[in-house]
Amino acid sequence: MNTTISLACGNGGEENNELISKVFYKAFANEILEKKEDAAIIHNGELAFSTDSFTVSPLFFAGGDIGKLAICGTCNDLAMMGAKPKYLTCSVIIEEGFELVQLERIVSSMRQELEINGAIVVGGDTKVVPRGSVDKIFINTTGIGEVLQKGISSNNLRVDDVIIVNRDIGTHGATIFAAREGIDISSSLKSDCNSLFAQVKALIDAKIKITAMRDATRGGISAVLNEWAKQSNICIEVAEQMVPVSDEVKGICEMLGFEATTLANEGTFLLAVKKEDAESACGILKEFHPHAQIIAKVTNAHAKKVILKSAWGTSRFLEMPTGELLPRIC
């Protein structure tokens, strides 16, 4: 590691993982933390517990704002462990001079998203700092959820598990970049920022055998797939032509040299299920978004690796993202 922190350390990729493992995991090591899940499973497996901080720029974007993002982010982390979001705390750091009307708009978005999840804020903290100390407003949310289906873990993937994505990828990252750079796109491109519990509940109600779930935020699906491959010591083979990417996202990627697989998402998740449940699970997710798709399978071809297989029969390793992908994305 370098002796100073770079923006790359917050990208959700290789540098971010190195920072977390060599500093925070080293200091706080315990068996719950070492599972490296989206949320900690506590209280004899009955509760899920998660926290997240949000610094997105711009604060308001097509499809959402920092308030909606703050509730979706923590509630989705709970949902990815099969838990119903119940109770949240909210802490904000506000820059001196921030407009009250914008704060009220942000808090209104948070309230609306809480209602969608059936959750409530039960505590919080507010700090105001001198102008220039932070960029407008930073928000932290911490949540507790009731586990509805136990045993979901990114450490449990096995050969013949099938991996599904619930919708097209990369729209949040593409939207934020377009807004930040002032790119005028005459299209319907907007962030996928959404709460995911309703989709998870539908899978649980249908008795789908869920192995693992994870929302593909910073680092995109590339980061999630690589984390899964390493944590479960398996190989994941991805059919590149099956990964759903909108024309708008493809256009931004081609124009700016991005990879859609590394772009951040805020309402997109990967689901690993037993082979016999794959079609049923995909069908359930298509009821929420038509582009839900089976994209990969677990094999033993190359341990701890992700292989991207093209429609032309070629293959390459899909690596963990590195470098400064797009800071201040969430």
pLDDT, one tens digit per residue, over 125-140 is 999 999 999 999 999 9
CATH number at residue 215: 3.90.650.10
- From the number of C-beta atoms within 10 Å of its C-beta (0-12, 13-18, 19+), residue 22 rates as exposed
Peptide bond into 327 cis (omega under 30): no
Mean pLDDT of 169-193: 87
| 156 is a domain residue | no
Is 133 within a domain? yes
Give the pLDDT confidence score for residue 175 in this predicted structure.
94
The fraction of the chain above a pLDDT of 90, given in percent, is 85
| Mean pLDDT within 288-293 | 98
Q: Are strands 162-165 and 137-147 parallel, antiparallel or unpaired?
A: unpaired
- Strand ranges (DSSP E) for the chain? 40-42, 47-54, 60-61, 64-65, 83-95, 120-129, 137-147, 162-165, 210-215, 235-239, 269-273, 293-299, 305-309, 315-317
Check pLDDT > 90 for residue 255: no
Q: CA nearest 176: which of 76, 284, 263, 53?
A: 263
Do both 171 and 295 map to the same domain?
A: yes
Q: Whole-structure pTM over 0.85, yes or no?
A: yes
Across the range 258-266, mean pLDDT stands at 95
Same domain, 135 and 203: no
Model pLDDT, residue 221: 98
Average confidence (pLDDT) over 7-15: 84
What are the two backbone dihedrals, phi and then psi, of residue 233, each rounded to the nearest 5 degrees? Answer: 55, 50
Question: Of 117, 147, 177, which residue constitutes the final position of a domain?
Answer: 147
Q: What is the mean pLDDT of residues 167-189?
A: 86
Q: In this model, does residue 144 exceed pLDDT 70?
A: yes
Last residue of a domain, one of 103, 119, 147: 147
Q: What is the pLDDT of residue 185?
A: 65
**CA 28 to the chain's CA centroid:** 23
307 in the same domain as 184: yes
In a domain, 327, yes or no: no
Token readout for 296 is 């990969």
The Cα 31–Cα 197 span in angstroms is 26
Which residue type does 144 have?
I
| pLDDT of residue 168 exceeding 90 | yes
How confident is the model over 66-72, as a mean pLDDT? 98
Domain that residue 62 falls in: 7-147
Number of domains in the chain: 2
Does 153 reside within a domain? no
Question: CA angle, 25 as apex, 34 and 329 as ends, to 5°?
Answer: 100
Tell me, yes or no, whether 142 and 196 share the same domain: no
Confidence of residue 14 (pLDDT cuts 50, 70, 90): confident
Digit-coded pLDDT (tens) for 199-245: 999 999 999 999 999 999 999 999 999 999 999 999 999 999 999 99
Kindly tell me if the per-residue pLDDT of 186 is higher than 70. Answer: no
pLDDT the model gives residue 183: 74
Max Cα distance, the chain (Å): 57
